[in-house]
């Protein structure tokens, strides 16, 4: 199995530029035979959304997200972080798993970091669960950053 960690910076607040960059990476890595490409937390919006003066949230069905699923093609899966708008009320720190041209699963960060310089609870509503799902790379569950520090989620 070939997993690519796309450790690349995003442009804070420029979702369209970040989608273009992610699409380029996915197209290249799919052609190179990657099985899974993993992007950073909140890659599509940038991490410090409190510094962005406009709305950068996206819904799961946003065509920019589905375009990334298309770019990955039929043989490459992708996990990509973004700011999700849920029913136009809540913002969530989410990561969506793309495969076969579609969204397969979306994890909403359960444990928000809210200490020192991190103020996630000021901007996001926590997710409520973690769920494993079947994928082309096997049975998978997603955790986002601070989720890993909570033993109940990783045991």
Task: Yes or no: say if 65 and 81 are a contact pair by the CB < 8 Å rule.
Answer: no
Q: Where would I find the H helices in the chain? A: 15-31, 63-72, 151-154
pLDDT for the residue 14? 96
Q: What is the pLDDT of residue 31?
A: 94
Strand boundaries in 1-155, DSSP class E: 3-5, 36-38, 77-86, 90-99, 102-108, 133-135, 138-140
Q: Which of 124, 119, 123 is nearest to 109 (CA)?
A: 124
Phi-psi region of 111 (alpha: psi -120 to 50; beta: other; left: phi over 0): beta
CA distance 139 to 120: 29
pLDDT for 154: 65
In this structure, what token pair is assigned to residue 113?
Answer: 């970091």
Please state the φ and ψ torsions of residue 86, each to the nearest 5 degrees. -110, 110
DSSP state of 130: -
Per-residue tokens: 150: 């909570």
For every one of its 155 residues, what pLDDT tens digit does the chain have, with 9 covering 90 and above?
999 999 999 999 999 999 999 999 999 999 999 999 999 999 999 998 888 888 899 998 899 999 999 999 889 999 999 999 987 678 999 999 999 999 999 999 999 988 777 788 888 999 989 999 999 999 999 999 988 877 776 65
**Would you state the pLDDT for residue 88?**
65
pLDDT of residue 155: 57
d(Cα 86, Cα 142) in Å, to the nearest integer? 19
């Amino acid at each position: 199995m070939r997993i690519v960690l796309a450790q690349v910076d995003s442009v804070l607040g420029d979702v369209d530029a970040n989608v273009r960059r992610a699409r380029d990476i996915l197209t290249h890595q799919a052609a190179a035979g990657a099985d899974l490409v993993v992007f950073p937390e909140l890659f599509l919006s940038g991490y410090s959304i409190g510094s962005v003066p406009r709305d950068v949230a996206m819904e799961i069905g946003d065509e920019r997200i589905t375009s990334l699923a298309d770019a990955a093609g039929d043989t490459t899966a992708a996990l990509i972080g973004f700011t999700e708008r849920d029913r136009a009320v809540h913002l969530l720190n989410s990561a969506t798993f793309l495969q076969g041209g579609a969204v397969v699963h979306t994890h909403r960060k359960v444990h928000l970091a809210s200490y020192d310089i991190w103020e996630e609870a000021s901007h996001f509503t926590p997710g409520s669960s973690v769920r494993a799902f079947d994928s082309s790379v096997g049975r998978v569950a997603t955790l986002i950053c601070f989720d890993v520090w909570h033993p109940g989620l990783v045991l």
